[in-house]
Amino acid sequence: MPTSPSTTLERDIGARLGAAGVPGCCLAVVDPRGVRWQAAFGHADLRAARPADIRTAYHLFSGTKVFTATAVMQLVESGALDLDADARRYLPELPLATGLTLRSLLSHASGLKETLRGFMAVYFPGDPEPTTAQALSNYEIRSRRPPNTRVEYRNVNFAILGEIISRMSGLPYRDYVRQRVLAPLGSGADFEAAPFGARMATGYLRRWDPTRALIHLRVRHVLPRLYRGRLGGVLELNDYNLASPSIGGLIGSVDAFAPFLRAHLNEGAPLVSAASARAMQTLVARGKAGIMSREGVGLGWKIGRAGGHPFLNHEGNGAGFSSELRLYPDAGLGVVMLMNLSSITGTLKLAHAVCERIYANRGAIPS
């Protein structure tokens, strides 16, 4: 019996992941009707030899920013927020420059300086859940240049947006996203690792990875609770949660994130209007904000081009995990890819290559 196209594609992706030393990976391919194909590779936990499966949960990290942007657009539609109002209207106590708007924050044209300590801050199952105000206090709010002059990827932009969502919606950020973004999709994603139990993948860091150096430099006090042990050339991590939820706090499986991509392929329904979805996917500021998406930024989405075709994406990378959310608007196709290994560039370039392989073979994927 001849090998099916999807089996051939699965073998190719598995070989790429194996060559890159990725312990485990799950991916799903979606179109406007739903999930077309999904697959799991490798192990959710190496020491226990627990295989990854479609319901294995991973940290999404910065892909969460598109969920935050969607929440902002919902509040714009309700009249609670104005994209072109100065952010000081909503957070008057912050030293924000005149002309720094919500649009500036969403498109990474704020001109603010990054503070890595805020990005790296974590807490553990059983600890009190930090508020977005507490998370924002980990950042030093300081301008590097005037707003709207240059695209520079900054986590602090979305930490500010998370607190604005909390204040203007009357709900804590996590609860707002759970109720207004995740629930309408029937998504099982969450901001806490504990509810996933044995479904949670173990995160791994290569001993020489730069992410490890950042952890030691910025949040050294958490090391005794973060590191579980060594296994060959990797460090195993214990379960943890990101203290700044709006920049990268979501955790879930590919089947939890696939409905979000489907919504954005369906002109935003049921989350936002078609006009809001188009605004999110349209170039707002030109400049490199991603590893492979180098054309510019919309409202939350990054914009790139490969092989003559456009794509929208948001990658994610942090301690022990990497991810990719991607849309191919010309093909009506979306890809979510989750891995339990972090690498500032390696896993994200791998995700790009896998997505492009899927795009090139899209006609062979069962509908």
Do the Cβ atoms of 141 and 159 come closer than 8 Å?
A: no
The architecture CATH gives domain 5-364: 3-Layer(aba) Sandwich (3.40)
Q: Which residue is associated with the tokens 């979000």? A: 260
Instruction: Could you list the beta-strand ranges (E) of 52-190.
Output: 58-59, 122-123
Averages of pLDDT over each 10 residues, the chain, 367 residues = 63 96 97 96 98 98 98 98 97 96 98 85 94 94 95 97 98 98 98 97 89 73 90 95 97 98 98 98 95 95 96 96 97 98 88 97 86
Do the Cβ atoms of 317 and 211 come closer than 8 Å?
A: yes
pLDDT at 237 (0 to 100):
96
Which is it for the CA torsion 297, 162, 193, 228, positive or negative?
A: positive
Q: How far apart are CA 86 and CA 63, in angstroms?
A: 25
pLDDT at 31 (0 to 100):
97
Please give the C-alpha separations between residue 319 and each of 22, 61, 215, 276, 357, in angstroms, as whole numbers: 14, 9, 8, 33, 27
Q: Where are the domains of the chain?
A: 5-364
Q: How far apart are CA 148 and CA 112, in angstroms?
A: 10
